[in-house]
Amino acid sequence: MTQITITALGQRGEGIAEIAGQRLYVPFTLPGEKVEIAMEGERGTLLSVLAPSPDRIEPVCGYFGVCGGCSLQHLAPAPYAAFKRGLVVTALSHAGIDVPVGQLVEARGIGRRRATLHTRAAGAGYMRPRSHDLLDIEACPILVPALQQSAPGIARALHAAVGDSDIGFTATATGLDVSVRNERKLKPQKLVPLAQNLKLARLSLNGELVLQSQPPSVRMGKALVELPSGSFLQTTEAAEAALAGLVLAGLKGARSVADLFCGVGPFALRIAESARVLAADSDRPAIAALQHAVKHTQGLKPITTLSRDLFRDPLAPAELAPFDAVVFDPPRAGAEAQARELVRSKVKTIVGVSCEPRTFARDAAILLAGGYRLESVTPLDQFAYSIHVELVGVFKR
């Protein structure tokens, strides 16, 4: 056992101390705290807090510290917001971009509507910190009410039928969408009575439909979108609405917009209330879901869809010519190839949405070098108590 004083908070949410000129990383600690730890190489395990920081608060969950799902429940709201905003500021600074970053927008809403739980003989829950050992939980307070207690119970029931699994949950307007993945060869039909018993909207096993009592659906603007199994969805409903609001504000006045990496259309469907839209993504089921939603929604301007791998085959300047604005919301890898084509185009406005500040900063540097200016950057918090942050940047020629 060793007593140390934490001097900083690292980008992974861990307290940092120095011993004999070497950095030591200690999860669940805060700057200024005197703590007792067990050392293992460059990492420390917190044993007790001898002198707490004034920024330390009581965690909202009794599993905090032994569960690997959250890392920042002990940090008070103001320094927590500063930490998340700082992730964006630091990423932009490292890319040589000096631009004002807005205050963090709180977008957690009533909780996460998506989660993945693991099931093992030990129960159902999340993995312990830096471990593959499962922590059995009864409830998770950062999820939406429909999942907080029901998800662990459903996971246990499924484990009894299918064994060790990773189980994805999505809470939708029409019920729970549950997707089971494991390595066993099982006949999906055997799970039909269980899915009925659990009153699930849909159950899938290793990508194969077991039962769909009704299509899992979410509202996006005027549209009701039927979600494909395993499709991407913003983690919280509040974040989707906040992101869409920032996107629409950035696009103000645009009459024709290309929505790239559009998914099932959370932006495209809202943009189409006032502008023509091209919506492109490589996810064919997502594009099909968007097409279906467009067909059954009144009051939208035309939405043209395009199934295309924008990493390998980005829209070229000639294809971008009809649009006075572009939105891109890529996965964590970013939109580097598309950014390089955008600087060769005459598109006046670009709105970038990202869940990874470092790749956003890389792509932003490409756009800035190509003649755009970055007018605003707004960070959003939908990943409660984690080290992840969402952001929206608005670029103008």
Q: 18-39: per-residue pLDDT in tens?
A: 988 889 999 999 999 999 999 8
Q: 187-215: per-residue pLDDT in tens?
A: 888 899 999 999 999 999 999 999 999 99
Q: Which of 280, 281, 169, 151 is nearest to 216 (CA)?
A: 169
Cβ-based neighbour number of residue 135 at 10 Å = 19
Q: Please list the residue range(s) of the chain that carry CATH number 3.40.50.150.
A: 82-108+236-396
Cβ-based neighbour number of residue 383 at 10 Å = 21
| Residues annotated catalytic, as ranges | 355
Q: Which CATH class is domain 2-56?
A: mainly beta
Q: Which CATH number fits domain 114-217: 2.60.120.620, 2.60.40.10, 2.40.50.1070, 3.20.20.220?
A: 2.40.50.1070
Cβ-based neighbour number of residue 312 at 10 Å = 8
- pLDDT-derived band at 113 (thresholds 50, 70, 90) equals very high
Residue 340 pLDDT: 98
| Mean pLDDT for the stretch of residues 73-79 | 98
Is 156 a residue whose pLDDT tops 90?
yes
Query: Tokens in use for 117?
Result: 């739980």
User: What is the spatial distance between Cα 378 and Cα 246, in angstroms, rounded to a whole number?
Assistant: 8
Cβ atoms of residues 329 and 393 within 8 Å: no
CATH 2.40.50.140 fits 82-108+236-396, yes or no: no
| Strand partners for 327 | 259, 351
